[in-house]
Structure 1
Amino acid sequence: MGDNITAPGGPAGAAPALADAPPEDAPRYTPEWLALREPADAAARAAELLGPLRAHLASAVPPGGRIVVRDLGCGTGSMGRWLAPRLPGPQHWILHDHDPGLLAHAVTALPAAAADGTPVTAAAAPGDLTRLDAAGLAGATLVTASALLDLLTAAEVEALADACAAAGLPALLTISVVGRVGLDPAEPFDAELAAAFNDHQRREHGGRRLLGPDAVPAARAAFERHGYVVRTAPSPWRLGPDERALVAEWLRGWVAAACEQRPELAAEGEAYLRRRLAECAAGRLRVVVGHDDLLALPPGGGGR
């Protein structure tokens, strides 16, 4: 996605974790970067999808039961920190990631209480998620992910939809790139970098062809093939002078990825980055990074 990029200190999104051991080329994300982006993710997520989700869960969870959430590629647990206090009822979060350090942080940093004050608990599930199936989702009520879809392949998205459908589970998949970036003030070179970056997001990585900006339409189609009711809503980052540190890191990674994809852009890209970082430091740069959130509800579920 527009923010799943190689920034100083490591790539900048939540890593796919769908096998017992992570692939050797699995990306690593620093806690510092994940902490820097967390407020922007939280502000961006589409709260309008929560009404249909709550309605579904109210019909799916028996009285006195608890919501069991499997959070895929959880990073430091930002999805749980955002969602757990917005859902009523006792909850148990099973946090999946290939990075044990991030998992350890995530388990201890989830909120202790749900929206109605009932308890929230958490457990770690280390490993890679690209082979997740219905058996791996046993006992769950909900599947969530943030900044994950665009890091998957078409086959992996199909497998995720297949697993959710076989288990009859809803999925809330947030902060997925859509390929749109806007900078103010604009420059003619913005569009060329954006196109190169989008190509980079669709690149072959470790023998896997990533979906990048095509992830949300692919996921919608995959879930709809199983009869799911799918809703999407925009969830853009809107960054300005108050988010200078995040803008600067995003810029460095965005330009670097575009130039990696098209090395002939490197010389102009270096000068461009210097100008943009100066504008950012002076508080004159605003950036909108486009994402979509997706809610997939199983057929016959509540919240239609």
Structure 2
Amino acid sequence: MRKTTATPADVARRVGGILAQPGRTEPGSVTETLIPGDGGPLRPAVHGVEAVAPGVIAGAGPVGRPGERPTVRLRDSAPEEQPRYAPEWLELREPADAAARAMELLDPLRIRLANLPGRSGLAIHDLGCGTGSMGRWLAPRLDGPQHWVLHDRDPYLLHFAAVASPRAAADGSRVSVETRRGDVARLTPDALAGASLVTASALLDVLTREEIETLAAACAGAGCPALLTLSVAGRVELSAPDPLDQEIAAAFNDHQRRDGLLGPDAVNVACEAFADQGATVKVHPSPWRLGPQNVGLTAQWLRGWVGAAVEERPELAERAEPYLAARLAACAAGDLHVTVHHSDLLALARPTGGAG
């Protein structure tokens, strides 16, 4: 047995917490379970989880039976590609994510959810849920019973998300959880049947144009809104500006666009895709504002940001090494402030079933 870890190179692939190359997932594997949230913090196991038998999600039951129709189409990767999103990284960034998400989008979302036809509770699909930070942030801000369907390809992250899910909505109504294992790069048309809302965090920038168009079409078909937060905007501001800042930023943005992924172009593409499906689209800034209170996160982000830039443009390596050392020293001293720009997107699809 081995522990799940992430190297600096893993983190460098997506400083936003999403790796550029998903690992292999067995085609058709889907796992479902109902788990009432316990509302607790992430368990100590987050910092060292031993592998379990393939096809089993610890604490969440077996995979679907052979022949069952999967609700999520899986993207294949080469067998040797097995990166996971490190739970440590997702836990480290969660407070910054929570502080950054755009509260301004919640009121129009609440109004739409309150007026969905035939509503008797919310069915919320969280795509690429990681350790479940989106649910911990959003569920206590919405009224009424909620059933969260958590999608992720990593069984360990699904387990963490399930056991640390919130118990109650804003008005005290019950929150329940279902996990589905699979890579959510593409959805089948029926994957969102009955959905009231689709959410995701730090997801759009690791999708292709085709995948975002498919997601927009799926939301339109279900008549459900989508709240898609913390997509990278391609802009970074650091205190005590350095001439190398812009070169690193440009190289990092090019790294994010590898293999047809959209990176910092994702929000514009998503706006077009959802608008083409007849949705009303609202976008609001959601920047990380990192300072002395975020030393651990800032240091990890710096290593990943510079590492990805150098991977994209190896000729930067000689200058990037002293640059990174100086930035890390300023970070450790509490003298570095960083703004990492993101955008949150709310797409209000036309509800099906009669409401306008």
Relative to structure 1, the CA distance from residue 135 to residue 263 in structure 2 (aligned partners, 3 Å threshold; closer, same or farther) is same
- 145, 154, 157: which one pairs with 1:90? 145
1-side partners of 2:93 and 2:111: how far apart? 29
More helix by share: 1
Contact 1:148 1:176 in 2 (8 A): yes
Listed as ranges, the matches of 1:161-200 within 5 Å are 161-200=216-255
RMSD: 2.2
Do 2:150 and 2:158's aligned partners in 1 also have CA atoms closer than 8 Å?
A: yes
Q: 2:193 aligns with which of 138, 157, 162?
A: 138
TM-score after normalising by structure 1 = 0.92
SS of 2:253 mapped into structure 1? helix
Instruction: Note the C-alpha offset of 1:300.
Output: 6.0
- The aligned residue for residue 43 of structure 1 is 99
Which is strand-richer, 1 or 2? 1
The answer to whether the aligner puts 1:52 opposite 2:108 as a matched pair is yes
Partner of 1:33: 89
What is the rounded CA distance, in whole Å, between the counterparts of 1:202 and 1:264 in structure 2? 19
Checking the alignment, whether the CA contact within 8 Å between 1:53 and 1:303 is kept in structure 2 is no
Question: In the superposition, relative to structure 1, how do residues 112 and 242 fare at CA in structure 2: closer, same or farther (>3 Å)?
Answer: same
Q: How much has 1:169 moved relative to structure 2?
A: 1.2
Matched residue, 2:56: none
2-structure distance, mates of 1:21, 1:217? 24
SS in 2 for 1:174: strand
Amino acid corresponding to residue 246 of structure 2 in structure 1: A
TM-score by length of 2: 0.79
The C-alpha deviation readout for 1:180-210, integer Å capped at 9, x for no partner, is 0000011111011111111111111xxxx11
Match of 2:158 among 99, 103, 113: 103
* Residue 43 (structure 2) aligns with: none
Question: Using the alignment, how far apart are the partners of 1:76 and 1:68 within structure 2?
Answer: 19
Give 5+ residue unaligned stretches, structure 2. Answer: 1-5, 26-71
Structure 1: runs of 5 or more not aligned? none
Residue matched to 1:283: 334
Provide the rounded CA distance (Å) in 1 between the counterparts of 2:162 and 2:198.
Answer: 17
Partner of 1:23: 77
C-alpha displacement of 1:108: 1.1
Whichever residue aligns with residue 35 of structure 1, its letter is: E
User: How far did 1:6 drift?
Assistant: 7.5
Q: Within 1, Cα distance between the matches of 2:350 and 2:133? A: 29
Question: 3-state SS of the aligned residue for 1:193?
Answer: helix
Given the alignment, which residue of 159, 174, 177 partners 1:119? 174
Within 1, Cα distance between the matches of 2:76 and 2:106?
Answer: 32
Question: 1:131 Cα shift?
Answer: 2.8
Alpha-carbon distance in structure 1 between the residues aligned to 2:126 and 2:249: 30
- Report how many residues are paired: 295
Counterpart for residue 254 of structure 1: 305
Q: Between 9-18 and 191-200, report the one with greater CA deviation.
A: 9-18
| Distance in 1 between residues matched to 2:355 and 2:256, nearest whole Å | 33
* Contact 2:206/2:263 (<8 A) preserved: yes
Greater CA drift, 19-28 or 146-155: 19-28
In structure 2, C-alpha distance between the alignment counterparts of 1:189 and 1:211, rounded to whole Å = 24
Q: Is the 8 A contact 2:116 2:351 kept in 1?
A: no
Bigger Cα Rg: 2
CA deviation digits over 1:210-267, x for unaligned, max 9? 1000000000000000110000000000000010000000000000000000000001
1:237 aligned partner, one-letter code: W
User: Percent of counterpart pairs with the same letter?
Assistant: 59
Contact 1:73 1:145 in 2 (8 A): yes
Change (3 A) 1:129 1:26: farther
Distance 1:39 1:278 in 2: 23
**What is the CA-CA distance between 1:19 and the residue it aligns to?**
2.4
